[in-house]
Structure 1
Amino acid sequence: MNTQKSLYRDPKRGKVAGVCAGLADYFNVEVWLVRIITITAFLLTSGSFVLVGYVAAWLILDKKSELKTGASNSYVPSGAQGQSYSGKGYTNPAVNSQKVNVKAKVWQAGMPPKQAFLNIQQRFIRSENRLRKLESYVTSKEFQINRELNGL
């Protein structure tokens, strides 16, 4: 697993060029905090230095692509890539699952604990419903007949 982070601009979440959003992703903090620090630094220090630094980061940093966005948020257990089952109505939950990042402090990026709990609870209910459908299919006569026909 590659744990090395890269610094990118995130124009989709950004207000001007996405530099603050990229920095927030890199340091795992909320975007609003990086924006406040940038504006405060602009007002309290020499504004031209912060402005030149922001424009330089705008020109130097690459845009964050969709592939990089999806790869950082998804979690697939080791050995689960490429697994599939051709059973009725079954999709591999490991491919569709996402890692839940719970924030411990207000300034950290991630979901609040209550929202994360509700998200995990909904995913558990969906997984349980899929398991019930799979179990009803495996215990049905249709499955037994298909199994016997495939054995011929």
Structure 2
Amino acid sequence: MSGAWQEEPRTRGLYRDPQRGKIAGVCAGLADYFGVEIWIVRLLAISGLIFAGFITFFAYCAAWLLLDKRPQRLTDDGILMKERSWQAGSTPRQALARVSRELESLEPRLQTLERLVTSREFNLRREFNKL
């Protein structure tokens, strides 16, 4: 694969993200780690505070104290790298064009996979593997 998917290597560690967070960045860090929107994690945290207040509060404070801040990634030029295209100053039209180019570059690979899966050879190999 080429394009922006490989331009930004993700740090898979669990970190706090104070720049995107409201209080300490714990919810933002969890959202980044699990790949969900921040508001979903915040909603879960508020629900946890309502239904299990002490445990949720203690877990949040522990995460605040134990988790490191998210390291800032730098480009080759030493400029801070933005994580999403709309944060990097591109317009929605430019972001859509970039995503469209990436999808078009993936189309030949998808066609190759479709040909393989629908071929007789694939079915024959699958039947042999079942034995």
Query: If the length of structure 1 is used for normalisation, what is the TM-score?
Result: 0.45
Percent identity between the two aligned chains: 41
Residue 55 (structure 1) aligns with: 61
Question: Displacement of 1:118 after TM fit?
Answer: 3.6
SS across alignment from 1:51:
helix
**Aligned pair in 2 of structure 1 residues 41, 3: CA closer, same or farther (>3 Å)?**
same
Q: What CA RMSD, in Å, does the superposition of the two structures yield over aligned residues? A: 3.7
- Structure 1 residue runs of 5 or longer lacking an equivalent are 72-80, 82-97, 102-114, 125-152
Residue 42 (structure 1) aligns with: 49
Residue 117 (structure 2) aligns with: none
93, 97, 101: which one aligns with 1:121:
97
Residue 104 (structure 1) aligns with: none
SS across alignment from 1:15:
coil
Question: Displacement of 1:121 after TM fit?
Answer: 2.5
Flag the structure with larger Rg: 1
Query: If the length of structure 2 is used for normalisation, what is the TM-score?
Result: 0.52
Residue 15 (structure 1) aligns with: 22
State the alpha-carbon separation in 2 of the partners of residues 59 and 40 from structure 1: 22
**Aligned pair in 2 of structure 1 residues 53, 120: CA closer, same or farther (>3 Å)?**
same
Which whole-Å deviations, capped at 9, do the CAs of 1:49-87 have from their partners, x for residues lacking one?
A: 1000000000000001212xx57xxxxxxxxx9xxxxxx
**Aligned pair in 2 of structure 1 residues 56, 120: CA closer, same or farther (>3 Å)?**
same
Structure 1 position 25 matched with structure 2 position 32 = yes
Residue 12 (structure 2) aligns with: 5
Show structure 1 runs of 4+ deviating over 2 A.
Answer: 1-4, 98-101, 120-124
Query: How many pairs align?
Result: 86
Higher relative contact order (CA 8 A, sep 6+): 2
Residue 66 (structure 1) aligns with: 72
Residue 105 (structure 1) aligns with: none
- Structure 2 residue runs of 5 or longer lacking an equivalent are 1-5, 77-81, 86-91, 101-131
